[in-house]
Structure formats: C-alpha cells, structure tokens
Amino acid sequence: MLALSISGFITIFKSSVFMFGYISKNSLFPEPLNSEEEIKYLQMYENGDMDARAILIERNLRLVAHVCKKYSNNNTELDDLISIGTIGLIKGIDSFNYRKGVRLATYVSRCIDNEILMYFRSIKKISTEVYLDDTIGKDKDENTISLQEVLENNDRSIEDEVDLKFKIKKLYKKMKTVLKDREFGIITMRFRVGW
C-alpha cells in the first residue's frame, strides 16, 4: 500500500514537472502514444506496472492542455486548470477499460472535462454561501455592518417566552368574548397574530 502511495506521488510529481515546463518554458509535452503503444502500456498497467501508468499520464498531458483551453476564458488560471485536468486524467486512466473498444483519449477527455466542471460547481457553491461575518452595508457614520449585527438578539429566556405566549392566548380568549366578531377579526388581521 505504501509503495503504491509513493508511486502515485512520483507520478503526480512527474506530471507536475511536465506541466510546469509546459507553462513556464512554453515547451511541448511528449507526443501522444499510437494505438499499439497505448494498448501495450494499458496491459502493462493492468498487470501492476506503475511505470506504464506514469507513461500513460505523461503522454496524455497534451490532451489535458487542449481540453483546458476551452475553459481559459473563465477567471481561473490556466495552470490551475491544467492541475485540475491532470487529476481527471489520472482518474480516467485508473478507471479505463481498453477491452471496451474505446480509445483512451476519448474516455479521459470526458474525465478531464468532468473534473474541471466539478471544480467550477464547487466554486459556484462557495460563492453563494452567506456567513454571519459578511458585510452587508454601512451605517450613517460609514461603519461597516455585518449580518450578525442585524439579526435579532432575543434576550428573553425560554420560560419568559412560554409565559408571554400563555398570556397572549389568554388575552385573545378574553377579547373573543368581549368584542364582536367583526372587531375581533379586524384586530387580529391588523396585528397578524393568531392564537
């Protein structure tokens, strides 16, 4: 298990080095594998060869960069997109079955797309969350006001709340006996209080 984790780390490290070289030096990724080489390395990986997995990842990094270009008009850095896309590539290679007759590039391009789209969804979810410390405006003295300051602070104890509700209920019963139905209806609609 530990050997697999170290091997996975080495693979990701190698992938990162290739990505960094591509981004910073504008150099090219290695050429993609042809069909025969792809099948050979997939079979080797299926038999537990982690070096074959590393080669499959390295030789498909060009595909990651190509897929990430579609999303470059978003407010995310290209190197971040390539990192996220590489995670999708690795997941795709790990779950790919070459016996189904589909090319690896076809399968992993969807995995790369899905990983990037999941990232954008998570960002969107985070951006719609509201926190009590969020600033919601300023007062007349230009002091910032947070949501927490605006929310009602109920200092009454539970016993006081229950006692008050019983008193209100008692008051409305008494009003019902003293007032005419129309008067009682007007008062309850005016103050929108039910009992």
Cα(26)–Cα(23) distance, rounded to whole angstroms?
A: 5
pLDDT tens digits, 42-100: 999 999 999 999 999 999 999 999 998 888 777 778 888 999 999 999 999 999 998 89
Under 8 Å between Cβ of 155 and 169: no
Strands (E), 51-160: 135-138, 144-146
The model's pLDDT over 154-179, given as tens digits with 9 standing for 90+, comes to 666 778 878 888 888 888 888 889 98
pTM here is 0.54
Q: What is the CA 72 to chain-centroid distance, rounded?
A: 18
Residue 71, classed as helix, strand or coil, is coil
Contact call for residues 81 and 71 (beta carbons, < 8 A):
yes
Domain boundaries, the chain: 2-128, 158-191
Predicted pLDDT at 185: 86
Fold adopted by 2-128: Rna Polymerase Sigma Factor; Chain: A (1.10.1740)
